[in-house]
Amino acid sequence: MKHRNEIVLAIEDLTVSFDGFRAVDGLNLYVERDELRAVIGPNGAGKTTVLDLICGKTKATAGSIQFKGIELTTMPEHKIVQAGVGRKFQNPSIYENLTVFENLEISYPRGRGVIGSLMFERTSDVNDRIHEVLEEIFLVDHPNTQAGLLSHGQKQWLEIGMLIIQSPQLLLLDEPVAGMSVSEREKTAELLNRISNGRSVIVIEHDMEFVKRIADNVTVLHQGKLLAEGSMESVQGNPKVIEVYLGH
């Protein structure tokens, strides 16, 4: 793998056991700034658990996760968010009863909870930033649409927008194009390629065509361990990867 940029995330010997079962087992993973890393592998490989460990939702049994030199394994979840890590779960968690604009406004870093941030004056700084994000996530024509009325794909974009408005240095996305139409997938690829500039993004994904379009490097997990890593081409041609994953 080419190493050109600073390492933003360094995961070493990371292990988590659930009642003796090692869902993640001695994993090493390094992600650079400006890198979009795809994580693939069969169901149960430990992909989601790795993201849970990075964002502090699950505590490691052993090993370390260093983000810009800060150890995350001993930090509470909200501190990890403050340190600059944004996490998107598989199902969009947006406020369905609020408008698109209001969802972004609530997520703007100075907001403190739903009521507090809605009572804030809409300063032009906040407005400008929200409009920038609306453009980025293809929702510039829908600021006043109730979020619950958006298509599934638009909801996923809105949630990505709610993360990027916080300017995270590391963005973690779990299967962002699941359930999306072909054209929504194409736009999401464009979005992810754009938002990986100036930050690092880790995307778990099963759609290999999609991975090919976005990933700088691909990590393949199997039974909690690193099975292969490198360019999409090298991973696709790897007999071990074909045997446990791509061949099925």
Ligand X SMILES: Nc1ncnc2c1ncn2[C@@H]1O[C@H](COP(=O)(O)OP(=O)(O)O)[C@@H](O)[C@H]1O
User: Which residues make up the interface to ligand X (CB under 6 A)?
Assistant: 18, 23, 41, 43-49
> Of residues 183-242, which lie at the interface with Mg ion (CB under 5 A)?
none
Q: CA angle, corner 144, sides to 138 and 149, nearest 5? A: 75
Give the nearest distance from C-beta 194 to ligand X in angstroms: 26
Does residue 34 come out as left (phi exceeding 0), alpha (psi in the -120 to 50 range) or beta? left
Per CB under 5 A, 48 contacts Mg ion: yes
Shorter beta-carbon distance to Mg ion: residue 56 or 84: 56
Shorter beta-carbon distance to ligand X: residue 44 or 116: 44
The item of Mg ion, ligand X, none sharing an interface with residue 49, based on CB under 5 to 8 Å by kind, is ligand X
Give the nearest distance from C-beta 133 to Mg ion in angstroms: 27
Per CB under 5 A, 107 contacts Mg ion: no
Does residue 198 come out as left (phi exceeding 0), alpha (psi in the -120 to 50 range) or beta? left
Give the nearest distance from C-beta 228 to ligand X in angstroms: 15
Residue type for position 131 = H
Looking at the DSSP bridge assignments, the partners of residue 30 are 10
The sign of the dihedral angle between the CA atoms of 193, 177, 21, 75 is positive
Cβ–Cβ under 8 Å, residues 171 and 200: yes
The item of Mg ion, ligand X, none sharing an interface with residue 189, based on CB under 5 to 8 Å by kind, is none
Q: Which stretch binds Mg ion (CB under 5 A): 48-56, 62-70, 102-110, 162-170?
A: 48-56
DSSP conformation letters of 207-231: -HHHHHHH-SEEEEEETTEEEEEE-
Give the nearest distance from C-beta 51 to Mg ion in angstroms: 8
